[in-house]
Amino acid sequence: MAAELYAVRRLMALAVIRHTPLEVPFSRCIFKFLVGEKFTMSDLERIDPDFIKHRIRPLLKDGGVAETEAIICDELYFTGTEPHGDDDASQAAASEPPKLVPRREGLSGHGTLE
């Protein structure tokens, strides 16, 4: 993925070096992606609050996966959640909902994700 963004990173670096404003409206997620940081739920919620409200939050509530499976009449597949560590930053992150990681194989009728 880094190769695809080489030109964007170079353009941004040149703008900084030459003190030239770069009038490109990047979202916080794009900036985090460019510097290699992970997105948070609040970052995505700023971009599309309705998607988070209607698609993600229902999955994260107690019994949400089973409820969604009943509604769509199919199983949802996940490999698990990203574990929180033992340090202070991880404990603070533990207050956020768990991060579900979609499983890449076994999706009925849809092949594998690339």
Q: What is the pLDDT along the chain (114 residues), one digit of tens a residue?
A: 567 778 888 888 899 999 998 888 888 888 888 788 888 888 888 888 999 898 888 888 888 888 988 988 888 877 655 555 555 555 555 555 555 665 545 444 444 333
Report the distance separating Cα 47 and Cα 7, nearest Å: 24
Same domain, 44 and 34: no
Domain range enclosing 108? 40-114
Q: What is the DSSP letter of 107?
A: B
Same domain, 16 and 57: no
Tokens describing residue 69: 């499976």
Same domain, 49 and 105: yes
**78 by DSSP, 3-state: which?**
strand
On whether the CB atoms of residues 5 and 36 are closer than 8 A, the answer is no
Same domain, 51 and 103: yes
Indicate left, alpha or beta for 13 from its phi (over 0: left) and psi (-120 to 50: alpha).
alpha
pTM: 0.47
